[in-house]
Structure 1
């Protein structure tokens, strides 16, 4: 998992640069917090976002882009693998959570019905 620091943000920005995307921070009405101009390879991110918000936007953009990892530098390839691994770990955790929640809900129902 990447830590939400300015250093990590700079790494993501350089990764986008290697993919020939320009990252700009501007104000605007973005439903998702960012906008991508496909023809010019520009990613515009809400300038009022903090570091965490900016990083989440860049991570979301990276997940939706199609590119070959071989075109990236070795450092960026390692960063990309780290991001993909953390995404896989997050997916595993999300799959486990609903099971726990259903058990909690069942316990609440039992408690509720017992009180009536």
Structure 2
């Protein structure tokens, strides 16, 4: 899957978190990786000063770490999108 650095693509990633049990928040902080995952409370925090590209890369990285199961999502579009993302690798 080709990653598109657009607001629409960011919205699709944010919708995946909205449909999951994790809460996504944008806040300022000193995160070495640009984000923080609080597994106990199921909260993901992204640095709000990240540019669009940084936010998208961070969300994709987080999704790969959390290993969401596409079958846990009710919406078929979310399932398909998550499966495509699972086949995507980031190269820095």
Give the shorter-chain TM-score range: 0.7 to 0.9
Aligned length: 89
Once the 2 structures are TM-superposed, how far is the Cα of residue 37 of structure 1 from its aligned partner?
1.1
Structure with greater proportional helix content: 1
The answer for unaligned runs of 5 or more in structure 1 is 92-116
Q: Which runs of 4+ in 1 moved over 2 A?
A: 84-87
- Give, in whole Å, the separation in 1 of the partners of 2:3 and 2:55: 13
- Give, in whole Å, the separation in 2 of the partners of 1:40 and 1:48: 23
Q: TM-score if structure 1 supplies the norm length?
A: 0.70
Once the 2 structures are TM-superposed, how far is the Cα of residue 47 of structure 1 from its aligned partner?
0.7
Q: TM-score if structure 2 supplies the norm length?
A: 0.87
Indicate the residue corresponding to 2:26 in structure 1: 25
The answer for unaligned runs of 5 or more in structure 2 is none
RMSD: 1.5
1:25 partner SS: strand
Q: Considering only CA atoms, is the larger Rg found in Structure 1 or Structure 2? A: 1
Indicate the residue corresponding to 2:15 in structure 1: 14
